[in-house]
A and B are shown apart, each in its own frame.
Chain A
């Protein structure tokens, strides 16, 4: 319960910022899906979990880590496409809440599949990157790498959306669903591509997470709710807002966690989220809708 403005406080703040990179990356994929397809994948964290297990399994076979990461990204990208094709597409025209609920069913399936394939024990990939010390503060390399990769992925996605034909088509669909098919854009293909990109981002996040966390079937429930909070807080579909929200939430967690106990950091973050939504229902940076 000691909360002083000392070097440890600064350490917590900086670690929070590094954590924000990961959260922002996780929120990015979900935001893309919501912005374009107007669907919330409630099983998004479970897709990340699948990626983590995929990387773990391939790594155990002796494949170099870099290849395992590529495999993980491809696996989850494929998972995203399949999710859209098999589950989302049949309910695209029904009530929005059904689309959210149907992915809840997928959540159960993925969790159960992971339990059946890998058991309930904690697994880890056995790579520890160590940490760097600056002025009595220590930061793990894994977090620094994660932050860097997350920023790079965001920039890459931004360039993709701005500069490529498909990227522009994706943004156009997000703005007006009805008119784009008339302009010769195949909506169904764009949805599949977007789902694939969303899945690939989840796979990338999974690759970064295996460096920091143990893998177990319920891991999605640990951080899944947080990602939704970040997306809604930043304004669902707003990617820059998502980044700022990720920073805010992870600072609450890091600073609150270092001052009190970890749960209280999370609890304060959730409370803050609810209060903000009551003041600004469209999120911190969402436009009026």
Chain B
């Protein structure tokens, strides 16, 4: 009896100690977030004064990273629950083309165009999602079915070539000097574009965090492990999946639209289609889809890899001579090889694996009660 009380007290003590630790960790985490955010806000100034000669180039890379990170985060909302969609190229395509076509042919400002495109993307997502989730189409079948959606949207874009410019793509009509709130055009001012991309990315993280903290997340996690069991405890699996699909589709549509406004050019291969879908899926896997910053790490990884290799190859005469113009494919080659290695040896991605390692270290001395409390 005495023994048990003692044991209980020890446990209680451990739990308390853990709570204190956790509080400190949280505080530290918040300050880390704030410092990181401040750095990101100051970053373009640093680029402006630190690298004035190539300011545009470096900002361009940063903007690309942030915009894609937003789209990847949107995808990961579905991907992390086992809904591996190859259909998100369709949503970015709908976002980009919807907004540009409304602007070019009807003179409708993107401020109305984006909501319209989002609604269309969400409706398409739900139309495809509902039967999929009702019929429990998962895994291979879900991937291949959403792949068909991507191809369908891309073919429609190419087919409507009188409006969309077919496979050559099209441009949003420039409004004034190219910087306008009304037309949501900001391409010439890279610093402005950077802050827009940064704001969008932050919104994406907040959405991810909200979903992560919601009951939906637990429901979806349960459903992704065992649908029957989840349904039997009263989870409306279809409804939960549709919710997350709608959010995910909407984010990708917004991302596609802003990406188009920034690039001032859209083509069926650059904002829609299978290539984009594959890029989204693989960048998130490389980064890690179960953690908040995983998709962002994926975006950094892919952009830095392709840019770095491009610069290296263009600077190196031997590589140029070895492969000629084909050298530009070297980044795809390395990318593909790394993906294979990631999926085989690091299925949780870069960030996921790193965090798991750190967590293991942090939890090792605290023992099992800590695990129970942290949930």
Chain A interface residues (CB < 8 Å from chain B) = 40, 87, 90-91, 94-98, 100-102, 104-113, 115-120, 217, 221, 224-225, 228-229, 232, 236, 260-261, 263-264, 266-267, 270-271, 273-274, 277-278, 281
Contacts and interface: CB of A to CB of B under 8 A. Distances in A.
B139 interface: yes
B24 to A, nearest CB: 36
Nearest to B166: A263
Contacts of A236: 140-141
Interface of B: 82, 84, 128, 131-132, 135-137, 139-141, 143-145, 147-149, 151-152, 155-156, 158-159, 274-275, 278, 281-282, 285, 323-333, 335-340, 342-344, 347
Contact of B151 (A119, A266, A277, A278): A266
Nearest to B167: A263
A225 B148 CA distance: 7
14 contacts: A87-B340, A97-B139, A97-B143, A108-B282, A109-B340, A112-B329, A115-B332, A116-B327, A119-B324, A217-B329, A232-B144, A264-B155, A270-B152, A271-B152
Contact of B340 (A40, A105, A228): A105
B137 A108 contact: no
Nearest to B146: A274
A281 B337 CA distance: 34
Given A101-B281, A225-B151, A116 B326 contact: yes
B280 to A, nearest CB: 12
A200 B40 CA distance: 53
Contact of A229 (B136, B137, B148, B275): B148
B326 A119 contact: yes
Nearest to A117: B326
Nearest to A217: B329
A232 B278 contact: no
The SS class assigned to the B binding surface is: helix
Nearest to B341: A105
B337 A109 contact: yes
Contacts of A106: 336, 340
Of A96, A232, A270, most buried by chain B (CB within 10 Å of CB) is: A270
Contacts of B135: 278, 281
Contacts of A100: 84, 140, 143
A87 B336 CA distance: 12
Contacts of A271: 152
A261 B159 contact: yes
Contact of B285 (A101, A263, A278, A281): A101
Given A113-B333, A116-B329, A118-B326, 19 more contacts: A100-B140, A101-B84, A105-B342, A107-B278, A107-B336, A112-B329, A115-B328, A217-B329, A224-B274, A228-B144, A228-B148, A266-B155, A267-B152, A267-B156, A270-B151, A274-B128, A278-B132, A281-B136, A281-B137
Nearest to B339: A105
B343 A108 contact: no
A95 B325 CA distance: 38
B137 to A, nearest CB: 5
A277 B137 contact: yes
Contacts of A277: 131, 137, 141, 145
Given A107-B336, A112-B329, A112-B336, A263 B158 contact: yes
B140 A101 contact: no
B347 A94 contact: yes
Contacts of B327: 116
Nearest to A283: B141
B322 to A, nearest CB: 9
A221 B336 CA distance: 16
Contact of A97 (B82, B128, B275): B82
A103 B237 CA distance: 30
Contacts of A111: 329, 332, 336
A98 B348 CA distance: 11
